[in-house]
């Protein structure tokens, strides 16, 4: 990572505009999506022991 890049120098369309490895924003969105899918709460709560 050489330094800050401008998003305007890349002409991405569609989903590549938000998830790419060339811009800081695209890399950040990939990380947030990955961590969000790993750390999301479970659909059913754990069984409570009585």
The residues spanned by each domain of the chain are: 9-50
pLDDT attached to residue 44: 78
Question: Distance between CA atoms of 28 and 22, rounded to whole angstroms?
Answer: 11
Between residues 38 and 3, the one the model is more confident about: 38
pTM for the predicted model, two decimal places: 0.59
pLDDT tens digits, residue range 12-28?
A: 888 888 888 888 999 99
User: DSSP of 14-26, one letter per residue?
Assistant: GGGGTS-SSSHHH
Q: How far apart are CA 29 and CA 18, in angstroms?
A: 7
């Amino acid at each position: 990572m050489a330094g800050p890049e401008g998003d305007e120098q890349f002409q991405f369309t569609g989903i590549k505009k938000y998830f790419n490895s060339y811009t800081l924003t695209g890399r950040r969105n990939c990380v947030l999506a990955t961590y969000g899918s790993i750390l999301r709460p479970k659909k059913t709560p754990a069984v409570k022991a009585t």
